Amino acid sequence: MSEIVPSPNRDPQSPIALLERTLRVFPNKTAVIYGDQRWSYADFGREVGRMAGALQRAGVEPGDRVAVLAPNVPEMLVAHFAVLAIRAALVAINTRLSGGDVGYILDHCGAKVAFVDPELAPVVSDAQATMKSTPRFVNLEDPVAGILGKPLDGPSYAEFVDGAPVLEVRNDLDDEDRITSINYTSGTTGRPKGVMYTHRGAYLNALGEMLVHKLERDSVYLWTLPLFHCNGWCFPWAVTAAGAAHVMLRGVDPAEILRLIAQENVTHFNGAPTVLLMLSEAPEAKGVRFDPEVRVATGGAPPSPTLLARMAELGVRVNHIYGLTETYGPHTVCELQPEWEDLEIESKARVMARQGVPYHIATHLRVVDSALRDVPADAKTMGEVVMRGNNVMKGYFNDPEATAKAFEGGWFHSGDIGVMHPDGYIELRDRKKDIIISGGENISTIEVEHTVVKHPAILECAVVASPDEKWGEVPKVFATLKPGEDVTEADVIAFCRERLAHFKCPKAVEFGELPKTATGKIQKFRLREKEWAGYEKRVHGGTS
C-alpha cells in the first residue's frame, strides 16, 4: 500500500480506525464468543490481519469486491474488517436468495473471491450454471456447528489463510468516500440493486449506533440480526468501537436466544418484530423477566403497540428504529421522552410504535407531497418520507439511472408513506405500493394490522389489497394463529368493525403461515401477487 501523508488536523474516517483504537485500549477483553470458542480483541485483530493478508496474497486489490455467503459465524464478522482494511468492498449476500439471484449478484458485483458456508454451497452450485464470472470460491467450515467439508471447487478457509502474512490493523485510508460494502436489495420489483456504503458513512453510523443504543465497554451483543442485512445495521463496527463482546448465533432459535442471554449476560440484540414475537411466544419465555433490562432495536416493520407491551413485560427495552438498505439501516429512532416513562403500558407502547426522529449523524428528515413541499405536521396528512445526510448511500452500484431517480430533488426518496406529528416525530402509514385505495379512500395496512393483532387468538398478520369489483380493491388479512387457538374469519372481521371505520375493515381473512425474509420481515409482495394473479396489474402513484 502507498504511504498516506498524515494531516495534523484530520484523521480518515473509517471503521478500521474503530478497531485500531479498541486493539490499543482493550486487547485482552473478550471480543467474540461462539460456542466454546472465545477470542480476545488481540485474537480478533490477528484473525482480521490474517484474512486481509490472505486476500491480498490472492490478488485482491483496492476497489475489488469480496463476497460472503454465510450465516453469523466468526469469519463473517472478521470479513467486515479484513476486506475494508485492504480497501476492497465487502458484498455480504442474503442467505435465503435463490441460486439465480446469488449468481446475478456475484456477476453484477464482479466478486474476485467468494467465501461460502457449506450449507449454502448447493445454492452457489445452482448459480454456477448460468454465471458469467468465475470468482475464487473459499469454503468456510464451521467446526462449532459440526459442518465441515469442501463442497465447492476451492480451498477450505484454513487452507486459504495458511501461511498468509498477518497484516497490521492500521487506518491508512486514502479516500473516505471509498466503498466499504455493496448491499443488495431484496429485488421484489426486479433485479436486486447494489447499495454502496462508504468508509465515512459506515464510521459515522457506527458512532450513531453506539450513542443511540448505549453500547459501552461492558455491553454484550447477541447476533440475532443477520450480518448480511445492511452490514448488520453497522453494529459490527459499533460493538467493536465500544470494546463490547460479540456473541455469534448461526440461526434464530428462541430457546437458544433465551439460553445465551442468561449464560452470556447479553445486554443488547436486534431484530424485526417477528423475531421479538417468536421470543415472547416461546414456551421457554414463560415467567421470564430480564433484570437488568435487555436493550433491543427493532425495525423492518412498525411493531404493534400490542407487541411492545409484551416485550416490556419480558424485561426488554425496545428502541424502535426505522430506515432502509439505502440509509445503512437505521435513520430514525423513536426517542423516548421523559414524560412517556410513567405512561401506562398500552399508552407508552402506542407512542413508541412511531418511527421518531433522526439519528444525530443525519438530521434531515421530512414528509413531503409530490412537489417536495412539507405536509402539515398534524399527524393526519400523508406524504412520502425523504431524507438526506451522512447515512444515505453513495448510490447504486453500476446503476446511474436508478441512483438519479432515488435522489430526485436533492433528497433520498424512501418510497414510504407517513405523517409528521406536531412534536416532529414521523409515523409510517405504509409503503407506496402497500397503501390500499378503496373507493377513493386511502387505507393504511399498518393501521389495520395493528388492530388485528390485538385479537387474543392472532399471533401475527399481514394486510394487502385484494381486488374487488365494486371498490376496486379492499383489505384482506393473512393471519397466523397462536398455538391451540381457533377463530373464524367472521370473528376477526367483527373484531375489526368494533375498532375501525367500516371502510377500513378487512373483507376477507385467510389463516396460515406468512412468507418471510431472512430477517423476519413479512413478504407482502408474495401475498399481493397471489391475490392479483389473473388481474390487470395496478400500480399506485401515491396518496392524496
- What residues are paired with 430 via a beta bridge? 417
Percentage of the chain surpassing pLDDT 70?
96
- What residues are paired with 426 via a beta bridge? 356, 420
Return all residues near 518 (Cβ < 8 A) that are at least 6 apart.
Answer: 94, 95, 96, 226, 228, 229
CB 67 within 8 A of CB 111: yes
pLDDT tens-digit readout, 352-398 = 889 999 999 988 999 999 999 999 999 999 999 999 999 999 999 99
Check whether 272 has a pLDDT greater than 90: no
Report the topology of domain 262-431.
Rossmann fold (3.40.50)
Per-residue confidence (pLDDT) for residue 3, from 0 to 100? 54
Per-residue confidence (pLDDT) for residue 1, from 0 to 100? 45
State the SS3 of 179-205. Answer: EEEEEECCCCCCCCCEEEEEHHHHHHH
Check whether 305 has a pLDDT greater than 80: no
493 or 308, higher pLDDT: 493
pLDDT tens-digit readout, 203-239 = 999 999 999 999 999 999 999 999 999 999 999 999 9
Check whether 275 has a pLDDT greater than 60: yes
CB 340 within 8 A of CB 332: no
State the SS3 of 358-399. Answer: ECCCCCEEEEECCCCCECCCCCCCCEEEEEECCCCCCEECCC
Name the strands in the sheet holding 383-388, side by side, starting at the edge strand that comes first in the sequence. Answer: 364-368, 383-388, 412-420, 426-431
Check whether 539 has a pLDDT greater than 80: no
Taking alpha carbons only, the member of 145, 248, 296, 208 closest to residue 15 is 208
Report residue 7's pLDDT band, with 50, 70 and 90 as the boundaries: confident
Per-residue confidence (pLDDT) for residue 536, from 0 to 100? 52
Q: Compute the Cα dihedral for 338, 343, 348, 354 and give only its sign.
A: negative
For residue 536, what is the DSSP state?
A: P
d(CA 268, CA 416): 28
DSSP per residue, 100-127: HHHHHHHHHHT-SEEEE-GGGHHHHHHH
Among 1-5, 105-109, 331-335, 384-388, where is mean pLDDT lowest? 1-5
d(CA 309, CA 328): 28
Report the topology of domain 15-204.
Rossmann fold (3.40.50)
d(CA 275, CA 252): 8
Per-residue confidence (pLDDT) for residue 293, from 0 to 100? 95
Q: Compute the Cα dihedral for 180, 408, 388, 450 and give only its sign.
A: negative
Per-residue confidence (pLDDT) for residue 328, from 0 to 100? 96
Return all residues near 148 (Cβ < 8 A) that are at least 6 apart.
Answer: 118, 141, 142
Per-residue confidence (pLDDT) for residue 542, from 0 to 100? 33
Q: Cell numbers of 515, please?
A: 412468507
441 or 299, higher pLDDT: 299
Q: Cell numbers of 272, please?
A: 424485526
Per-residue confidence (pLDDT) for residue 102, from 0 to 100? 93
- What residues are paired with 92 via a beta bridge? 68
Positions of CATH 3.40.50.12780 in the chain: 262-431
**Of 26-35, 88-97, 516-525, which has the strongest mean pLDDT?**
26-35
> What is the rounded average pLDDT of the residues 260-267?
97
d(CA 480, CA 344): 28
Report residue 186's pLDDT band, with 50, 70 and 90 as the boundaries: confident
Report residue 538's pLDDT band, with 50, 70 and 90 as the boundaries: very low
d(CA 266, CA 150): 34
Taking alpha carbons only, the member of 496, 493, 411 closest to residue 447 is 496
| CA distance to 101, 110, 328, per residue, from 132 (Å) | 13, 9, 29
d(CA 321, CA 121): 34
Positions of CATH 3.30.300.30 in the chain: 436-532
pTM: predicted TM-score of the whole model, two decimal places: 0.85
CB 34 within 8 A of CB 248: yes
DSSP per residue, 251-311: S--HHHHHHHHHHHT--EEEE-HHHHHHHHHSGGGTT---SSPEEEEE-SSPPPHHHHHHH
Per-residue confidence (pLDDT) for residue 537, from 0 to 100? 44
Alpha-carbon dihedral angle through residues 352, 355, 357, 358, given to the nearest 10 degrees:
130
Among 81-90, 146-155, 404-413, where is mean pLDDT lowest? 146-155
Report the topology of domain 436-532.
GMP Synthetase; Chain A, domain 3 (3.30.300)
Amino acid at 24: R
Angle (CA) 91-98-300 rounded to 5° is: 65
Report residue 108's pLDDT band, with 50, 70 and 90 as the boundaries: very high
Positions of CATH 3.40.50.980 in the chain: 15-204
Report residue 250's pLDDT band, with 50, 70 and 90 as the boundaries: very high
d(CA 53, CA 166): 6
pLDDT tens-digit readout, 9-53 = 888 999 999 999 999 999 999 999 999 999 999 999 999 999 999
Residue owning grid cell 477450505? 156
